[in-house]
Amino acid sequence: MKVTVVGAGNVGATCADVLATREIANEVVLVDIKEGFAEGKALDIWQKAPVIGYDTRTVGVTNDYSRTADSDVVVITSGLPRKPGMSRDDLISTNAGIVKSVTEQVVKYSPNAIIIVVSNPLDVMTYQAHLTSGLPREKVFGMAGILDTARYRAFLAEALNVSPKDIQAVLMGGHGDTMVPLPRYTTVGGIPVTELIGKAELDAIVQRTAVGGGELVKLMGTSAWYAPGAAAAQMVEAIVRDQRRVFPVCIELQGEYGINGVYLGAPVILGKNGIEKVIELQLNDDEKALLETSRGHVKEVMDALDNMSKASA
């Protein structure tokens, strides 16, 4: 199995490192536009192999997509972080251009690859990659739900003083502030979380999760990378090993939950063909209202991208 990670920054390098350390693929190719950057990161990861004990080969290249040919899975982490004074539209325009260019190269050399998008703004970058690739939605989707649920589960484990291994949870909707928490589907060792924690404390944890990325930016002055990189690697593992894991991922909904043509996080079965099935939960009225709010927010950003594309046509 061959996996390519585009973007050798913190998230991409972490993803490649986890893929190698866990021996998820035979070869991991790291690509970056900065001369020597991916080569250095890949070499560093490869030199760690004798220490940790793994044999996945890591290779770095500068903007040479021919080296990525015939990849089974491609993870796209490319893009710029939002900088002070940069508007949302500026960020969308810049990163959409990057994701479009990368996707064109990916499809050219690996037409059968499954594409996982990590670039931000996540939902609309998944839309851009899907448009550019022309691939079915089952093969182009975004990583956000696993990261959001990981944060949620980590906060719950801390509050309850239990192992995060025993916490299962589902979140839906857009990535970030408009995500849709589903406490009804959150369990701790099979026990509904609502039996173990009060509503006020649970609501506070949900709110902390929604702004989880912002909390880290305030602390470090930059975006997170360990958890996002590992989350992307977990999705790759589910595909490469055909694990049929149930994960929340960003996908174009096509009638599920009464929504069409909008990219939102929803629970799916992830296996060798990419998304094997979209799982449709029976949401209550409050949950449906939150999902509709999230849908409206994501659609607004998608429309902004469409308008930019028309203006530049």
- What amino acid occupies position 299? K
8 carries a ligand binding annotation: yes
Tokens of 200: 């006020």
List the catalytic residues: 175
Residue 68 DSSP symbol:
G
Q: Is 88 part of any known ligand binding site?
A: yes
Q: Is 7 annotated as a binding residue?
A: yes
22 known member of a binding site: no
Check: CB of residue 163 under 8 Å from CB of residue 284. no
Residue 44 among known ligand-binding residues: no
* Distance between CA atoms of residues 159 and 63, nearest Å: 45
Q: Name, in order, each residue with C-beta under 8 angstroms of 46's C-beta and a sequence gap of 6 or more.
A: 20, 57, 58
For residues 171 and 50, give the distance between their C-alpha atoms in angstroms, rounded to a whole number: 39
Is 95 assigned a ligand-binding role in the annotation? Answer: yes
Token pair recorded at residue 97: 């251009």
Instruction: List Cβ neighbours of 93 (8 Å cut-off, separation of 6 or more).
Output: 308
- Is 120 marked as binding a ligand? yes
151 is annotated as contributing to ligand binding = yes
3-state SS of the chain: helix, strand, coil percent to 5? 50, 20, 25
Rounded Cα distance between 177 and 192, Å, is: 24
What length does the chain have?
313
CA distance 278 to 287: 18
> Are 145 and 173 contacting, i.e. CB atoms less than 8 angstroms apart?
no
With CA atoms as reference, report the closest residue to 209 among 265, 284, 271, 149.
Answer: 149
Residue 119 assigned as binding residue: yes
* Known binding residues for NAD(+): 7-12, 32, 95, 118-120
* Known binding residues for substrate: 82, 88, 120, 151
* Known binding residues: 7-12, 32, 82, 88, 95, 118-120, 151
